Amino acid sequence: MLTIRIIADNEGDISWDMSSTSDDELEMIKQKKLAELQKMATTKTMMSFLAGPVVLTDSNFANEIAKYPIILVDFWAPWCGPCRMVSPIIEQLAREYSGRVAFGKVNVDDNQITATSFGIQSIPTIIIFKGCRAVDVMVGARSRAEIETKLKQHLASNRDSIYE
C-alpha cells in the first residue's frame, strides 16, 4: 500500500512524502529475522563450548533449561549401578553432539525438588527438553543406540533450525 502525506507549513509551502507500508513491513520483518538469526548463532556458539553435561541443581534448573533449544537431562544418583552404566554414554554423546544438543545431569539425592517436580521415581531417567518442555522420557538404563535414536528423532523434527 502506498501512502502519500501532504504537509503545508505556516508560510504556505507544500511538501509531500511518499512511503510504502509494504517497505515498512518488509523492514520490520527483516529486523525480526535478523534478531532471530543472531539469537540462534549465539545459542549455537554457546552450545559448542559445552565440553560435557551441565550440572543441574534445584536452583539453576529452570534457567539452564531455558538457555538451550534442546537439552537431554540425565536424572541419576552416585549409588545407582545402572546410572553409572549410562553415565559414560551421556558423556560421549555430549562430546559428539556438542553444538547441536546440550546435556545435563541432575543428582536426585541432592536436588529432590527438581526430581519430584518431574515425578522421578526410578533412576536413571532421561528426559529430553525442547523449548523448555519435556518431550520424551526414558526410564531405566538404556543403550547408546536407544538414547541416540530418540535424540535423532527430536533433531530431525527441527529441519528449519540450528540443528541441521
Q: Which residues are marked as active site?
A: 80, 83
Q: Are 88 and 120 in contact (CB under 8 A)?
A: no
Do residues 135 and 154 lie in contact, with contact meaning Cβ atoms separated by under 8 Å?
Answer: yes
**75: its cell numbers:** 536424572
Residue 130: phi, psi to the nearest 5? -130, 125
Whole-number Cα distances in Å, 52 to 1, 2, 25, 35, 89: 53, 55, 43, 28, 11
Q: Residue 104's closest CA among 138, 140, 65?
A: 65
d(CA 102, CA 105): 11
C-alpha–C-alpha distance, residues 98 and 46, integer Å: 10
Residue type present at position 103: F
